[in-house]
Amino acid sequence: MDHDDLQRIAEGERAAAKSAEIRCCTSSGCRASGSKEVLSRLKAAVEANGLGDRVAAVGVGCPGLCSAGPVVQTHPDGAAFGKVTADHADGIVSALSGGSAGAVRIDPHQPFFTKQLRIVRATAGQIDPERIEAYIAAGGYEGLYRVLQRRPDEIVADVTASGLRGRGGAGYPTGLKWATVAKMPPGQKYVICNGDEGDPGAFMDRSVMEDAPHQVLEGMAIAAYAIGANQGYIYVRAEYPLAIERLQTAITQARKAGLLGRGVFQTPFEFEVEIRIGAGAFVCGEETALIASVQGLRGTPRPRPPYPAESGLWDRPTLINNVETFATIPAILRNGPAWFAAIGTATSKGTKIFSLTGKVKNAGLVEVPMGTTLREVVEQLGGGTADGKAVKAVQTGGPSGGCVPASLLDTPIDYESLASIGSIMGSGGMIVMDDADRMPEVARFFMEFCADESCGKCVPCRVGTVQLHGLLTKLVEKRATRHDLDTLIELCHLVRDTSLCGLGQSAPNPVLSTLRYFAGEYEALLQPEEFARPTRRSAVPLTVIS
Amino acid sequence: MPVTAAPVDKRLKILDAVIRRQHSRPDALIAVLHKAQELYGFLDAPVLWHVARALRLPPSRVYGTATFYHLFSLKPLGEHTCVVCLGTACFVKGAQTLVDAVAELVAIRPGQTTADGKVSLTVARCIGACGIAPAVVLDGTTHGHVSAGQLTARLEEWTHGS
């Protein structure tokens, strides 16, 4: 494969394109609502109407509006249909030539679509994720080609200049991480893609892996060249079978096309990628635990330093980035770091994908520039709550994050702003809650999750989360006193300050953030003390927090 | 524990082929356990011993890994499996009522299998189908926007059907 071959494939694909396309979402969400059958009926309807020479029915990635699934779009007229069943197939095909579709139309000009800026998800909902030719025609692997014409340190400098920060949650500058691994002495190095998206309520990475597996591979290959690695691993949750299947297909195709393996683009660069499948452990999203799991061990974290950048997989320098981070890389190298750095805020560059779910009208995936306010996302893109009730809070960052009350919805989305109000960016889960959701119960839900997922290695997390869950249960069941609440707060600080890894350190966040903004709900559940207790000196009084 | 010589069946041959394809590398343990569970339905002691010997690992490490990860089951599962997602999006959309409804109908708690071995009920921590919450996985197929009535109706088919 050389650059001419790449262009030939792209041109061939464009030449073979039919004048009209009916695009049916085949991602996990729409599949669960029967989109596979819809697609086969659409294909049959195209044939039956003798339109095979100018219309193609294709399966594409997720257009984003999951709550209206299965979603079918027609191209180039831009019409979109929601809740499509197989029986609507004939109608949609006839709508191409002016007939009535019979299916529910979705307005493609509503804010949900127009307010997005799609960089990572640029091809989602447009191309068939199972064909490498479609990705190449959309400009795929062009970034890798250009990278291979330059020196590795220039690539690291570009990524640093772009201002990209890790999309897995912590927001560590990606360029700095790459530079650290690149600076390690030459020898065996590894690239790992963290696709262990364990945050309940988040499915951006699943979608990126399903919709743009080649984009993830291209990002990994660019990273491997920049840091001097020749072996990569993608660690995917076993709960995402379609993502695994599509990544495997993509690896096979890329290897066959000469875009993975030895002598990529006729350069000395070689890179192999293997998939490692998780087995259901949230803690494996933590980088050192993930490395242990890739090695076939129990996924328990270890103290850092040494950081994986110095000593990671099999004690070799290892670069670990999140799926979305890798998927952002090809666009940065294609369009230049300045282009990327111009999007977003001063400290948070580019776009971020959020999975907008819960009591929201338009549930699904949205990609917005950093600096967009939570209110814009929830009220304009999300369309407010489904039944028109007032939004009470928005939970971001999953079990490591916090609940943002409605009064703070004007906070811009960037790493620092969210941290300043007691939440985190996290991997991108955004769950909208209304009055029916009781905050102490939400806090208990997350604590149950953390207690269940604690790996058991360090005591504060293993014992602390169970105790916190017990106290929250007591509270929810209206058996707790103020003394218990003080203990709860004290224990939250202890677990946060003394746990080994991010899971334990952030487990109290949902409790602390709901206490900060919804203290009244906790107070209302308290029972009077049965007998006088000595005052606790070490406990943080609730008044300080509220 | 004595190693019971399991009869050499087709499943064992497939498992051995998978182990060979992984070059008996110890780091392939999780992948091998996935395959073993797919073939046998669950991981019992003879299977774990077999994997340990094939990958030249101490049985304690194989057992330790098998018990660490939630998806590995050391007990046989029922004929049908019902996985209710309890991710945050499903939780706020009332997935707990689904669990309660199933638990009441077949009188088992999450993680258990009915006495007649028909139905296993498990809960998952987010299956990534948040856009169609609440979601359940019935015999490997994901269903979205599920109500308690629909779910119990399906389970009644399982328990009373053939």
Least confident of A160-169, A395-404, B153-162: B153-162
DSSP string covering chain B, please?
---------HHHHHHHHHHHHTTT-GGGHHHHHHHHHHHHSS--HHHHHHHHHHTT--HHHHHHHHHHSTT--SS---SEEEEEE-SHHHHHTTHHHHHHHHHHHHT--TTEE-TTS-EEEEEES--S-GGG-S-EEETTEEE-S--HHHHHHHHHHHHH--
* Token pair listed for A249: 């297909």
Q: Of the residues A311, A341, A371, which one is the last residue of a structural domain?
A: A341
Assigned domain for A12 exists: no
Please check whether residues A161 and A275 belong to one and the same domain. yes
Smallest Cβ distance to A364: which of B68, B88, B131? B131
Q: pLDDT band at residue A102, thresholds of 50, 70 and 90?
A: confident
In a domain? residue A115 = no
Query: A31 and chain B: CB distance < 8 Å anywhere?
Result: yes
Backbone angles phi, psi at B42, to 5 degrees: -160, 175
Confidence of residue A541 (pLDDT cuts 50, 70, 90): very low
Kindly tell me if the per-residue pLDDT of A92 is higher than 50. yes
Task: Give the 3-state secondary structure of residue A276.
Answer: strand
A437 to chain B: closest CA residue: B92
Taking phi over 0 as left and psi of -120 to 50 as alpha, with beta for the rest, A364 belongs to left
Contact assessment for residue A197 and residue A48, using Cβ atoms and an 8 Å cutoff: no
Cα–chain-centroid distance for residue A441?
25
Enumerate residues 6+ apart whose C-beta is below 8 A from A444: A469, A472, A473, A475, A476
Residues A292 and A164 in one domain: yes
Q: How far is CA A456 from CA A177, A496, A504, B6, B71, in A?
A: 29, 15, 10, 34, 17
Rounded to 10 deg, the angle between the B29-40 and B45-54 helix axes is 140
Strand A429-434: give its sheet, edge to edge: A364-369, A351-358, A429-434, A391-396, A402-405
Judge whether A146 and A158 are in contact, CB under 8 Å. Answer: no
Check CB contact under 8 Å for A363 and B125. no
- Please tell me whether residues A426 and A443 are part of one structural domain: no
Cα of first residue to Cα of last residue in chain B, in angstroms, is 38
Same domain, A488 and A449: yes
The predicted model gives A318-332 an average pLDDT of: 97
Contact in structure between B99 and B84 (CB atoms under 8 Å): yes
Rounded to the nearest angstrom, the minimum Cα separation between B88 and chain A is 5
A381 DSSP 8-state letter: I
8 Å CB contact between A216 and A255: no
Tell me the pLDDT tens digit for each residue of B3-13.
555 556 899 99
Identify the pLDDT of residue A164. 97
CATH number at residue A276: 3.40.50.11540
Q: How far is residue A403's CA from residue A426's CA, in Å, rounded to a whole number?
A: 12
- Domain with residue A458: its CATH number is 1.20.1440.230
Residues A302 and A451 in one domain: no
Asked whether the beta carbons of residue A453 and residue B125 sit closer than 8 angstroms, the reply is yes
The helix/strand/coil state of A404 is: strand
- Half-sphere exposure for A246 (CA within 13 Å, toward CB): 27
Regarding whether A267 and A235 lie in a shared domain, the answer is yes
A 150-189 residues inside an 8 A Cβ radius of B: none
Asked if residue A134 belongs to a domain, the reply is no
A279 vs B125: CA distance, rounded Å: 12
A209-219 pLDDT tens trace? 999 999 999 99
Domain containing A536 equals 439-545
Residues from chain B contacting residue A277 (CB–CB below 8 Å): 30-31, 34
Residue A196 placed within a domain = yes
Tokens representing A478 are 């209206």
Q: Does B33 lie at the interface with A, CB-CB under 8 angstroms?
A: yes
When pLDDT is averaged across residues A220-239 and rounded to a whole number, the result is 97
Among candidates B30, B51, B135, which has minimal Cα distance to B88? B135
- pLDDT tens, position by position, B50-103: 999 999 999 999 999 999 999 999 999 899 999 999 999 999 999 999 999 999
Q: Is there a single domain that holds both residue A217 and residue A327?
A: yes
Q: Which tens digits make up the pLDDT trace of B117-142?
A: 999 999 988 888 898 999 999 998 99
Is A190 within the bounds of a domain? Answer: yes
List the strands of the sheet with A55-60, edge to edge: A55-60, A20-25, A72-75, A80-82, A104-106
Same domain, A169 and A103: no
Distance CA A287, CA A312 (A): 9
Q: Mean of the per-residue pLDDT values for chain A?
A: 93
The predicted pLDDT at position A535 comes to 64
DSSP state of A317: -
Mean pLDDT over residues B30-44, rounded?
A: 95
- Which residues, 6 or more positions from B46, have their beta carbon under 8 angstroms from its beta carbon? B3, B4, B6
Q: In B, which residues are within 8 Å of A282 by CB distance?
A: 125
CATH number, domain containing residue A363: 3.10.20.600
CA distances from A70 to A124, A150, A156, A254, A304 (A): 15, 43, 41, 29, 45
Mean pLDDT of A361-390: 95
Structure-token pair, residue B76:
């046989």
User: What is the C-alpha separation between A22 and A78, in angstroms, rounded?
Assistant: 10
In a domain, A348, yes or no: no
Task: State how beta strands A391-396 and A364-369 pair.
Answer: unpaired
Nearest to B125 among A200, A364, A429 (CB): A200
pLDDT confidence band for A544 (50 / 70 / 90): very low
Phi (first) and psi of residue A194, to 5 degrees: -85, 100
pLDDT at B6: 53
Q: Does residue B112 belong to the interface with chain A, where contact is any CB pair within 8 Å?
A: no
Structural domain contains residue A25: yes
pLDDT of residue A539 exceeding 70, the answer is: no
Answer for the pair A168, A427: CB distance below 8 angstroms, yes or no: yes
B48 interface with A at CB cutoff 8 Å:
no
Q: How many domains does chain A have?
A: 4
Asked if A183 and A214 count as a contact pair (C-beta separation under 8 A), the reply is no
| Whole-number Å distance between alpha carbons of A267 and A2 | 9
Q: What contacts A132, CB < 8 A, 6 or more positions away?
A: A140, A214, A250, A253, A254, A257, A259
Chain B residues within an 8 Å CB radius of A295 = 27
- Residues in chain A with CB shorter than 8 Å from the CB of B34 are 238, 277, 279
Q: Let me know whether A362 and A448 are in one domain.
A: no
Q: Do A260 and A299 lie in a common domain?
A: yes
A365 plus A461 within the same structural domain: no
pLDDT over threshold 60, residue A167:
yes
Residues A499 and A448 in one domain: yes
Q: Rounded mean pLDDT of B23-51?
A: 95
CATH number at residue A45: 3.40.30.10
Strand pairing of A80-82 and A429-434?
A: unpaired
Domains of chain B: 10-68 (1.10.10), 80-160 (3.40.30.10)
Is the CB of residue A440 less than 8 Å from the CB of residue A476?
yes
Q: Largest alpha-carbon pair distance within chain A?
A: 85
pTM, full prediction: 0.94
Tell me if A279 and B26 make a contact (CB, 8 A cut-off).
no
Residue A304 in this model has a pLDDT that exceeds 50:
yes
The reply to whether A131 falls in a domain is no
Instruction: Count other C-beta atoms under 10 Å from residue A99's C-beta.
Output: 12
Residue A357 phi, psi (nearest 5): -140, -170
Which amino acid, A303?
A: P
Q: What is the pLDDT of residue A534?
A: 66
